[in-house]
Amino acid sequence: MAVSTTLTAPSAQPVSSNSPQITATELDASCRWPLLALFGSAVLWLFLGVVLGFINTMKFHVPGFLAECPCFTYGRVHAAQSSALLYGFGLQASLGIGLWLLCRLGKAKLVGAVTILIGTLFWNAAVTLGVCCILGGEASGYDNLQMPGYMGPVLLWSYLMIAVCGILTYHRREERESYPSQWFVIAGLFWFAWIFSVASMVLFCPPTARGVVQASVAWWYSHNLTNIVLGFSGLASIFYFIPKILGRPLHSSYLAGLAFWTLALFGSWGGIPMGAPMPSWIPAMAALGTIFTIIPLIAVAINFCHTTCGQLKSLDKDVTLQFSYIALLFWFISSAQQIVSAFPAVGALTTFTWFTVAQKNLFLFGFFTMASFGAMYYILPRLLVIEPCPKLAKANFWLMLLGVLISYLGLGVGGANQGILLMDPANKFTDVMRATMMPVRVSSLGDLMIIGGILCFLLNFFGMFARRCCACCKAKKEACK
């Protein structure tokens, strides 16, 4: 790689040399309240999402658990959980991290803090209403787009309120050269607005699409929402924090660019299961796109191998670094699994089994949630000007890591076993499902640990917030005296 690495890692010093009046503290102060609102509600939604997930896991131990109440049937809770995790937590966390990165890297103060606060308020109101509607039986029936169609305009409008402020912040940047993280963030902002409006138009605005076109659109949307929108956000924070905390420049911004553009091009094709009842070129294109994501995978791998080589010793120094490393690792595993499953020989075995669920959970909890936690452990102390409790942070890290691993291995092994057993028509379906129940039940132990980890983060976050409020009150009282 002969490319010179001119882009320095984002420096930790007071931000700018050519505009000395703006300091990092001022930048952080400009985005304090909007980001606290976004992160606070995101973490609460995350907790609610995993608790809902645990209710569903319990049904694999006791099928009759909460069966009397229509709101808590497996399907409704499943839909509510995915909405809480993706819209409540995922998008809000990605917006928060994205806005902060745009401020920091562009050396510009956040534009439109009040607009963002109002947008956040409406977004949370819409997601709350949407999740309640789902539990009440109003789910739309489309995977990962389960909130009823009439919530669409509110969601889109409040998202745009926040996203436009992000784009304006980027536009007003002092530092004209863009760092890879900024591309990822900007791409994510555009991407969600685009896919959400297309999917809502096609699926909910009459005349709606007919037949399996709906399925194609819904799967395309769902794949783009997780792999591109959330994926880009996670990668943005990894691309920023790992070089920054190590104090080394990113190995090659060419490779980062290659990864970015190939991921944008090929990563957005996918999500259609093999053998879906539609013209076979559609699943084939999806599989092809997924297989081509091997290019960004390799590009990111080379880039980070060179960036971090010999620096693994410093792993236990910083909690953000730990989270970011593990998130990157899980991104590799999850993406590699997705690529392998796109080959027909493997796909025939794994489609419709727990194996794909394991991959999706790894992406969401192992990669995205870990990367977001890492970013928040860096950003929150700067917003609140108070340090997090290191013990809780450590507990958070280990519980999350072990929980994700146990859950992933349980579902992965169970899913592979399920696929192999189902290939033999002599095995009865119920027998196969019973055989896969044990690993699935083991995975609920992992889910419990993930809940514990998230609870640690929640306590840490609100503890920091409370301590900050107390400190402010004291300062005010003393000032009055």
Partner 1 sequence: MLCLLQGEEGGLQVKYGPFLFLGLLCCMAASSLTFVLAPQMQIGGLEQTNSVADLPVMYPSQPAGVTHQGAEVYRANNCAACHTLQIRPRNLGPDLQRGLGFRYSVARDYIFDKPVMLGLQRVGPDLSNVGARMNPSTILLHLYNPRATVDHSIMPPYPFLFEKRKIGRVASPDALVLPATLPPLEKGYEIVPRKEALSLAYYLTSLRQSSYLFEAPPPQKAKPVATTDTNAPAATTNSPAK
- Binders of partner 1 among residues 155 to 184 (CB under 8 A) are 170-171, 176-178, 182-183
Cβ closer to partner 1: 21 or 211? 211
Q: Which helix (H) or strand (E) holds 263?
A: helix 253-266
Site string for partner 1, 358-397 (x = CB under 8 A): ----------------------------------------
Is residue 197 a contact partner of residue 156, using CB atoms and an 8 Å limit?
A: yes
C-alpha distances in Å from residue 451, one per residue of 299, 338, 419, 455: 33, 25, 29, 6
Cβ closer to partner 1: 21 or 430? 430
Nearest partner of 212 among 261, 153, 156, 282, judged by Cα:
282
Is residue 110 a contact partner of residue 34, using CB atoms and an 8 Å limit?
A: yes
Q: Does 9 bind partner 1 (CB under 8 A)?
A: no
| d(C-alpha 442, C-alpha 269), whole Å | 33
The footprint of partner 1 on residues 284-313 (CB under 8 A) is 285-286, 289
C-alpha distances in Å from residue 6, one per residue of 10, 19, 243, 253, 433: 12, 21, 13, 8, 55
Q: Does 476 bind partner 1 (CB under 8 A)?
A: no
Q: What 3-state class would DSSP assign to 70?
A: helix
Cβ closer to partner 1: 20 or 211? 211
Q: At closest approach, how far in Å is the CB of 405 from partner 1?
A: 22
Say how many residues touch partner 1, by CB under 8 A: 98
- From 215, 342, 384, 413, residue interacting with partner 1 (rule: CB under 8 A): 215
Nearest partner of 368 among 236, 186, 199, judged by Cα:
236
| d(C-alpha 321, C-alpha 326), whole Å | 9
Q: Does 232 bind partner 1 (CB under 8 A)?
A: no
- From 226, 253, 303, 359, residue interacting with partner 1 (rule: CB under 8 A): 253
The footprint of partner 1 on residues 432-461 (CB under 8 A) is 433-434, 437
Q: Does 220 bind partner 1 (CB under 8 A)?
A: yes
Q: Does 65 bind partner 1 (CB under 8 A)?
A: yes
Q: Does 206 bind partner 1 (CB under 8 A)?
A: no
Q: Does 265 bind partner 1 (CB under 8 A)?
A: yes
Amino acid, single-letter form, for residue 107 = K
Q: Which helix (H) or strand (E) holds 476?
A: helix 429-480
- From 1, 12, 67, 114, residue interacting with partner 1 (rule: CB under 8 A): 67
Q: How many residues does the chain have?
A: 481
Q: Does 268 bind partner 1 (CB under 8 A)?
A: yes
| d(C-alpha 291, C-alpha 335), whole Å | 10
The footprint of partner 1 on residues 131-160 (CB under 8 A) is 137-143, 146
Cβ closer to partner 1: 225 or 383? 225
Q: Does 107 bind partner 1 (CB under 8 A)?
A: no
| d(C-alpha 368, C-alpha 294), whole Å | 19
Write out the two tokens for 461: 């976050």
Q: Does 257 bind partner 1 (CB under 8 A)?
A: yes
Q: Does 59 bind partner 1 (CB under 8 A)?
A: yes
- From 190, 312, 390, 462, residue interacting with partner 1 (rule: CB under 8 A): 190
Q: Does 78 bind partner 1 (CB under 8 A)?
A: yes
Nearest partner of 369 among 389, 397, 394, 392, judged by Cα:
397
Amino acid, single-letter form, for residue 414 = G
